[in-house]
Amino acid sequence: MVNGFPTPYISLPFSIVLLIQNLLTIIIIRRTPKLHTHANIVVASIAGGDIYLALVCITSGIVYLPGVRNTKLNNALLEASMCGAGYSSLLLSVSQLGLIAIDRYTYIVYPLYYMARITKRRIYKTIACFWLVGIVYGLVPLFVYRNASDYNICLITRPPFEYIAVPIVLYQVEVILIFVCYFIIARLAFQRKKASRVRQLGFNGGISSREAFITGRTAAWRSVKFFATMYGIFFACTYPAVLAILINSVDSFPLSVFVPLMFLFFMHSMFNFFAYLNMNKDFCLGFKHLFMRKIRNNRN
């Protein structure tokens, strides 16, 4: 209990739901060929980061249950792990959402450059770099701040300011970058009409070429709409928590407010799953096919 808030009883089932949702996201993207796009590969990577965070939260939820807490388990190690997992997850999520925004911006504004230079291999390399930085950053508390509890400092509620400065600053920079990318894309959507795009093909393209062009562009705008929604959910769920963390690092912040904001921080992953299911037809079909296959296997 934290100021009357039953943290272990909520964090444990909440983390299990997050784990299942993100596993489903990765499995569906993996098994649906139409979802093997650059942006969806990044979505799967973000889900992988959320799985790592969910596993640490599940462990924390079990350890802090009454009857288990204050045993011989190394709570200082767990606290440092939770701190590292939380901030490395923030670092990974915001960096990769920025990558998606740049990917969609380049695809819409500079399509020829995108087709020539942006390959899956480059996307994988970029994701690998993000993960390397995220893992190293997540391990820092285990080696540097592991003994913070000896000085009555809780790493989860009040991490060292120099440690949170990097993800907080990156968060602010990425928020501005993502907003600018989607603002330019939205302005472009209003400026360019479908008729003007068709005329750019000339009369030599043929009806089938025009239809293919319009279909491709329409799909691109739909993907932008979804990823802009995904970013909006992320911002709405994480910004209050980031602000609370920043305030709490320099001054006291009520735990009765701080803890619910931390749960709100994690809920962006849950909301994104349902947004993905509702707004992406291929993901929805992949979800249905996965469960239909499971039902058929059980019947056999």
255 in a structural domain? yes
State pTM to two decimals. 0.82
For residue 4 the two structure tokens come to: 């009357």
1 in a structural domain? no
206 in a structural domain? yes
Residue 88 maps to which CATH number? 1.20.1070.10
Q: Which structural domain range is residue 208 located in?
A: 7-299
88 in a structural domain? yes
276 in a structural domain? yes
265 in a structural domain? yes
Q: How many domains are contained in the chain?
A: 1
User: Could you tell me which residues come within 8 angstroms of residue 59 by beta carbon, excluding any fewer than 6 positions away?
Assistant: 78, 81
Q: What is the pLDDT along the chain (300 residues), one digit of tens a residue?
A: 444 455 667 778 888 999 999 999 999 999 999 999 998 999 999 999 889 888 887 877 776 666 555 554 556 777 778 888 888 888 898 899 999 989 988 988 888 898 888 899 999 999 999 999 999 988 888 888 777 655 556 676 677 777 888 888 888 898 899 889 888 887 887 776 554 545 554 544 455 555 554 555 566 667 677 788 888 888 898 888 888 888 877 777 777 787 788 888 888 888 888 888 888 888 999 898 888 877 776 666
